[in-house]
Structure 1
Amino acid sequence: MNNPDQPGFDRHMLEALVCPVTHATLSYDAARQELVSRAAGLAFPIRAGIPIMLVAEARQIKAD
């Protein structure tokens, strides 16, 4: 079930997902359609509402 604020991604799914590298919690970046693991410094893309949890597909991010 999609709503206009969350196109294609069910935020409740976020509760069940963890970083595949560190097993840390993820945060949802709606603007970029990514799940962010600050612990690993990686952002995993969400394509067509499906999180792509592969390290090879992740974007490296700078630690804040």
Structure 2
Amino acid sequence: MKIDDWLLEILACPACKSPLRVEGETEELACTGCGLIYPVRDDIPVLLVDEARKP
């Protein structure tokens, strides 16, 4: 996954507005607040609550 650090700093969870972090093993983005996990497809984060999964 190729998400630049500057982009990761401005991305936020659409559900609770908390910062996101990269999940190393699965190459997904996890919310630091509510815990939803968002997929990354073709190096593009899919930040749709309907597409997120719960931990």
TM-score where L is the length of structure 1: 0.74
Question: What is the match of residue 32 of structure 1?
Answer: 26
Aligned pair partner of 1:23 in 3, 14, 17: 17
Runs of 4+ aligned residues of structure 1 deviating over 4 Å after TM superposition are none
**Which stretches in structure 2 are left out of the alignment for 5+ residues?**
none
Q: Distance in 2 between matches of 1:34 and 1:57?
A: 12
Residue 37 of structure 1 aligns with an amino acid whose one-letter code is C
Aligned pair partner of 1:10 in 3, 25, 30: 3
Q: Distance in 2 between matches of 1:17 and 1:41?
A: 15
Q: Percent identity, aligned pairs only?
A: 35
**Which stretches in structure 1 are left out of the alignment for 5+ residues?**
1-6
Residue 10 of structure 1 aligns with an amino acid whose one-letter code is I
Structure of greater Rg: 1
TM-score where L is the length of structure 2: 0.84
CA RMSD for the aligned pairs? 1.2
